[in-house]
Copies of this chain bind each other. A is one copy, B any other.
Amino acid sequence: MPSPSSPQRRPGRPRAGSEDKRARILAEAFRLFAEKGFAATSLGDVAAAAEISKAGLLHHFGSKEGLYTAVLEQRDADDFVGMTDIGDDVWAYLDTWVDLARDNARSPEMVRLYSAMAVDGVEADHPAHRWLHQHFARAVEATADAFEQGKAAGTVHPDAPSHELARTVVALSDGMQLQWLCARADAAADGREVTATPDHTGLPLDLAAQMRLVVDLIAARWRRPA
């Protein structure tokens, strides 16, 4: 006699208007991959979280790798750096990097997922590699372009090494995220409440402020009055 308080689903197509399971699975997979990493998250974990069977999950995504790439593609849609219309003001564009850091500080799961994918993806045969490669290429090129346009507009010293500076901004963003995640985990483990509010996190590391510092460093060296 099945308990009436656990109305488990029977096989068969669900009634119309039911939850969009595919979206639910993507959301839960995103969360779990970010929390525990890709390799350490099983299809069973994701299925349980999405309240569907493993077989049901595979029906939608075919394989674990299929699920992974679907999550990646969805995340790519949210990725806005390299997309924003930069105009020709590099320094305003660099501010969007600082803003991005501030946004990231609000969604540590996202940061965790990104970092995990970034390390997994360095291997050329990994499913995430193509994604990572494009991500780096887009971010670096967009930023380098911004510097070049700044030179054309006269707001950047013509000797500034655009490409190398762009790489620096991207690397700093990634590396700082690692330190921030580590500090955050420490704080959480110590039982200290880690507030979700972005402006004062109580952490010894302010993601946005650190980005600001480097942007200012670059500006101090290469900015030209317009």
Contacts and interface: CB of A to CB of B under 8 A. Distances in A.
Contacts of A181: 122
Contact of A170 (B112, B179, B185, B188): B179
A167 B115 contact: no
A86 interface: no
A220 B217 CA distance: 9
Tell me whether chain A's interface is mostly helix, strand or loop, or mixed: helix
A226 interface: no
A153 interface: no
Contacts of A140: 179
A175 B185 CA distance: 19
A184 B136 CA distance: 13
Contacts of A129: 182, 185
A103 interface: no
A5 B36 CA distance: 45
A92 interface: no
Interface stretch (A19-27, A49-57, A205-213): A205-213
A138 interface: no
A185 B124 contact: yes
Interface of A: 36-37, 39-40, 112, 115-116, 118-125, 129, 132-133, 136, 140, 161, 164-165, 167-168, 170-176, 178-179, 181-182, 184-186, 188-189, 205, 209-210, 213-214, 217-218, 220-221
Contact of A39 (B39, B118, B175, B184): B39
Q: Which 7 A-B pairs have the closest CB atoms?
A: A175-B175, A171-B175, A174-B175, A124-B189, A122-B181, A39-B39, A171-B176
A19 B218 CA distance: 53
